[in-house]
Amino acid sequence: MRSSSLLLLLFLTFLVGVCEVQGASDFRICAFNLHHFGDSKSKKSNVMHTLTRIIARCDVCLLQEVRDTQGKAVPLLLSRLNRYDAQHDYKAVASERLGRSSSYQEQYVFVYRTDTATLTGQYQYPDDRPGDVDAFSREPFVVRFKAPKTDIKEFVLIPQHTTPTNTTKELDALYDVLEQVKTMWKTQNVMLLGDFNADCGYLAKKNRKKVRLITGKSLYWLIPEKTDTTVRLSTSCTYDRIVVHGERFARAIVPLSASPFNFQLEYRLTEEQALEVSDHYPVEVLLKDNAYNVSFNAATSMSLYLFLLSHFFF
Query: Which amino acids are annotated catalytic?
Result: 106, 161
Contacts of 234 (CB under 8 A, 6+ apart): none
Question: Any idea how long the chain is?
Answer: 314
Beta strands 141-147 and 118-124 are: antiparallel
Could you please report the per-residue DSSP string of 233-261? TT-----EEEEEESHHHHHTBPTT--EE-
What span, in angstroms and rounded, lies between the C-alpha atoms of 262 and 274? Answer: 10
Long-range Cβ contacts of 133-138 (<8 Å, 24+ apart): 134/100, 135/169, 135/170, 135/173, 135/176, 136/160, 136/162, 136/170, 136/173, 137/98, 137/99, 137/100, 137/162, 137/163, 137/166, 137/170, 138/98, 138/99, 138/106, 138/108, 138/163
What span, in angstroms and rounded, lies between the C-alpha atoms of 200 and 154? Answer: 34
